[in-house]
Amino acid sequence: MRIAEQLLQNPAPSDPREVVILGSTGSIGTQALDVVRGAPGRFRVVGLAAGGGRPDLLADQAAEAGAEAVAVADAGAAAQVERLLRERGCHAKVLAGAEGVAELAAWQCDVVLNGITGALGLESTLAALRAGRLLALANKESLIIGGPLVREAAQPGQIVPVDSEHFALAQCYPRVPAAELTSLAQGQVDARVDDVRRLVITASGGPFRGRTRDELAGVGPEDALRHPTWSMGPVITVNSATLVNKGLEVIEAHLLFDVPLERIEVVVHPQSVIHSMVEYTDGSTLAQASPPSMRIPIAYGMSWPHRVAGAAPGVDWTRAQNWTFEPLDHEAFPAVRLACEVGEAGGTAPAVYNAANEEAVDAFLGGRLAFPAIVDTVARVVSERQRAGEPSALTPEDVRAADAWARARAGELISGAA
């Protein structure tokens, strides 16, 4: 019996589900802890990990949760976190550095929520999968940059997507359990997937929807950080403004659902109520709708395959409202087309795309790079890397080397443009 079938036959658990939350002081992590508070007796947080930039918050979270272990990615901040924990009467084991975060990802628990931002989440994703933990995956970058590695490490039913778009796509396959769709079993595509014509991923359009490329030349960080519908961290908010985040989501959907990239489309939906859709070959389309709140996919990821009542308010169907859809302007926002090319190339190309973007976003937020130059820089770095060739079989070392090269090359281009 497959893992998905076993879990779907089980009733809602009577014992608290033990959870490890990676990235606990960030947007995903703080919302996850809100879900835990709102469902007393449903979860027990056994471990928390964070970068270390907000030591007081991390110590407060661990003390409140009664965590067994706390990991601090910045090894230099671990001693301060440990001192703050002891002051709060919390005697959690403190783990330091990237190795400590990976160790916590393999901690004895029922589910690991990976809410780490960026490429740093790959080692934790692999550690959780190799330890046999159910992985609620909010760190899309780890799947995207390490696709073959993650696919090899994952067992059927082991990954539950927490991105709102991929959570929505899984909901729109009513005849197939979500875990089977995200099994990442190589070469094993359920025959019913043949009924799918295309996946449609929605995008809010970000704060610059409707602007031309020329009109984007003078926008600054404060403008890019004013997202119209979502409250997120600065990097993902800028990624939403450039549509790089949507490009990453296209690659993620391709890897999760084994649907060819040419059958995955992006449509702009400013209200952010329809999170994604599946169109079938008979002309019918299934869509998942909820107000823009990450608490719904986070709660489902931690409690899968069961739902958490009251995780967030639903749509108010008694109120008149309009939902609109419009095509994506690929000229003003070329990041999605570039991501499709990167996804098609495979190998280290996704790692290069992601790393170059992280460096460019950092430069933009620091006032050292113009907004349109973010994706221009990524495109140039990707092009240069593709001309250099790809390894025959991807290894973690290949991913790390490509990541480092892309960051260095992006830094050179950014310095030259300054």
Per-residue burial over 180-189, b = 16 or more CB atoms within 10 Å of its CB, e = otherwise:
bbbbbbeeee
Flag whether 139 is marked binding: yes
Helix or strand or coil: residue 111? strand
Q: Is position 141 annotated in a ligand binding site?
A: yes
Q: Say whether 93 counts as a known binding-site residue.
A: no
Q: Name which of 413, 407, 389, 395 is nearest 353 in CA terms.
A: 407
**Residue 265 counted as an annotated binding residue:** no
Known binder of ligand: residue 25? yes
Q: What are the start-end ranges of the E strands in 234-392? A: 264-268, 274-280, 285-289, 326-327
How many beta carbons lie within 10 A of that of residue 194, not counting itself? 9
Helix (H) and strand (E) counts for the chain? 18, 12
- How far is it, in rounded angstroms, from Cα 38 to Cα 32? 10
Query: For 103, left (φ over 0), alpha (ψ -120 to 50), or beta?
Result: alpha
- 388: three-class secondary structure by DSSP: coil
Q: 240 labelled as ligand-binding?
A: yes
Asked if 173 and 210 touch (Cβ cutoff 8 Å), the reply is: no
Is residue 354 annotated as involved in ligand binding?
no
Residue 100 assigned to a binding site: no
Give the count of alpha carbons within 13 A of 99, CB side only.
2
Residue linked to tokens 């975060």: 101
End-to-end CA, the chain: 59
24 is in an annotated binding site: no
- 204 labelled binding-site residue: yes
Q: Is 357 annotated as a binding residue?
A: no
User: Is 392 within any annotated ligand binding site?
Assistant: no
CA gap 85, 56 in Å, rounded: 9
Q: Which residues are annotated as a binding site for Mn(2+)?
A: 163, 165, 249
Q: Which residues are annotated as a binding site for 1-deoxy-D-xylulose 5-phosphate?
A: 140, 164-165, 204, 227, 240, 245-246, 249
Q: Which residues are annotated as a binding site for NADPH?
A: 25-28, 51, 139, 141, 233
Q: Which residues are annotated as a binding site?
A: 25-28, 51, 139-141, 163-165, 204, 227, 233, 240, 245-246, 249
